[in-house]
Structure 1
């Protein structure tokens, strides 16, 4: 009886601790999200930084790597903003092209559903009331925008300090643990540092192949700016699962909505269906492969949890963070079963004797 109560107490304590841990991380997103992003980015450029440090001083190498990451991020944002501006320029044509189809859809809905004209009028009135709180929305938007840019710039400052003073953090970890554990700690640090670069390298190769496949399919389908749309759709695959949906929606916006041609929509759907099949069953296993040793089931769980905690940035960070956690668990003897559970490895089979 006492053992059952003790077990119940430990289980309850663990559940409550996990709940408050993630609740705290959610509330402290403004602090933790830039820091975790900077840690992953630092690990990504660490091999390049180590090569540069053989020729130039460490602070200069750290600054150059931080600037490189900053310029890459600015370039990606410029691509997306250009595409949004292009969509805004095409908006009058889209409205003119889609107006007859919207009317047909409305007539179909009235004829084949319980909706009537009063329901449609109420929907229009409710949508027109949205503008009543426009000033509050603008204020909230400006506040979130300023917060985003502050965290955005802060991330690259963190990258510089993490690269320049990484030996301090490594020495701290080695000093904290006893001498007999130092070799294990070194192994964990070295293996963890390789997870993010290996994952990104596999992802970059995968994105390049996806961009080519998307370009071929969307070009044949007749999508405007198909090369740019293909590149952005490939980059969006950094956001697991959701990125593919956003890429498909963007292709539909620049293909079907501007032309109104149903064959273009069919071509886009076929392109994304075939490409996603190739990604899931051919490219992903052979290109990314074992670079991040995390079981697909826990990949999905980590992505969902990352979205709940930090939104889009949480989804992007989920897989490399889960990969690092798995490496740590696999290299600690007492926690190895949990590492095997999270990874793609098999549990050792018991002998028949």
Structure 2
């Protein structure tokens, strides 16, 4: 077979394989999304569980304590956010009064500068109004599905922590004796990278929440606490999350206030936050543990969004970092590791 034919058939087989891989990942979301989330979070909690075992806890109790701690932490955080959102909803009538002039002004610009017809929008609104019942039913189904996945994730975390030695030995036993030490090293690097990334992101979120709250509070932005929490949380999605958080702050802050000073305060606050995060905190808090190419990171985030939605965007970076570690230790896959890694300094 000629070289051109080999490249053609090989490339076609690769594309077909990638297509069916993504198809299986998308169809397997109900099982894979909670399980992969549990794997990532269990790697984060391994040091906590190990510390409890050193203090005399049996592994089953250490794993259970770590899981309950993580569960209570997530519930407490959700409770704080829900309180802020409920306070925002209580002031919704006032917010709506402030927003309506801006919305009407925007509508007039859209109607006058675009081919959109106002009658078409009214027709769409009437059609959508008929489907309110279906959307409400869909919301209820989604809520129960989310709660089921949420609780299932913590069940997975407990068992992954409790039987982590068994899973480690299983992966080592899959390889011949001469590869066992390298496999053990890969597993250790995988856990270290995940722990460093998630803990660093947690510290960044706390810092940015405080920074955003101070900046927007001084600027006179209404509901600055809930805006700060949501904007800081969105930074867990690389690059894209910062943009969404800024747009959210503009929408909930400036539009509801209608004050130019609030707009300037939001812009200055996010500019300072981005500078501090990118050039001071990101290198020293998260460090170089997750050494990924920015373009590959964005592609992974977009692919994660298409596959699993928001949870896919959040999981994309740690999963990509784990894949990068594995690629770096498998000879045929080292070119892919080079592609995923941030080699800008070496290539310059």
Q: TM-score, normalised by structure 1?
A: 0.90
Structure 2: segments with no counterpart, 5+ residues: none
Aligned residues of 2:222 and 2:257 also touching (Cα < 8 A): no
Deviating beyond 6 angstroms after TM superposition, the runs of 4 or more aligned structure 1 residues are: 346-349
Aligned residues of 1:199 and 1:288 also touching (Cα < 8 A): yes
TM-fit CA distance, 1:261: 1.7
Alignment of 1:182 with 2:180, yes or no, is yes
Q: Tell me the distance in 2 between the aligned counterparts of 1:85 and 1:151.
A: 24
Q: Tell me the distance in 2 between the aligned counterparts of 1:295 and 1:159.
A: 30
Q: After the TM superposition, which of the residue ranges 153-162 and 209-218 deviates more from structure 2?
A: 209-218
Alignment of 1:90 with 2:88, yes or no, is no
Q: Select 2:272's aligned residue among 267, 271, 274.
A: 274
Equivalent position SS for 1:238:
coil
TM-fit CA distance, 1:51: 1.0
Q: Which residue of 2 aligns with 1:30?
A: 30
TM-fit CA distance, 1:169: 1.3
Q: After the TM superposition, which of the residue ranges 227-236 and 33-42 deviates more from structure 2?
A: 227-236
Equivalent position SS for 2:290:
coil
Aligned residues of 2:88 and 2:223 also touching (Cα < 8 A): no
Q: After the TM superposition, which of the residue ranges 267-276 and 225-234 deviates more from structure 2?
A: 225-234
Q: After the TM superposition, which of the residue ranges 161-170 and 1-10 deviates more from structure 2?
A: 1-10
Q: Which residue of 2 aligns with 1:13?
A: 13
TM-fit CA distance, 1:343: 1.3
Q: TM-score, normalised by structure 2?
A: 0.91
Residues 141-180 of structure 1 mapped to structure 2, 5 A cutoff: 141-180=139-178
Q: Tell me the distance in 1 between the aligned counterparts of 2:344 and 2:110.
A: 53
Q: 1:8 to 1:107 in 2, by over 3 A?
A: closer
Q: Tell me the distance in 2 between the aligned counterparts of 1:326 and 1:144.
A: 34
Aligned residues of 1:223 and 1:251 also touching (Cα < 8 A): no
Alignment of 1:207 with 2:205, yes or no, is yes
Q: Tell me the distance in 1 between the aligned counterparts of 2:320 and 2:114.
A: 48
Aligned residues of 1:222 and 1:255 also touching (Cα < 8 A): no
Q: Which residue of 2 aligns with 1:342?
A: 340
Q: Tell me the distance in 2 between the aligned counterparts of 1:262 and 1:284.
A: 31
Alignment of 1:284 with 2:282, yes or no, is yes
Structure 1: segments with no counterpart, 5+ residues: none
Aligned residues of 2:172 and 2:180 also touching (Cα < 8 A): yes
Aligned residues of 1:49 and 1:62 also touching (Cα < 8 A): yes
Give me the CA root mean square deviation. 2.3
TM-fit CA distance, 1:90: 1.5
Equivalent position SS for 1:53:
helix
TM-fit CA distance, 1:237: 1.2
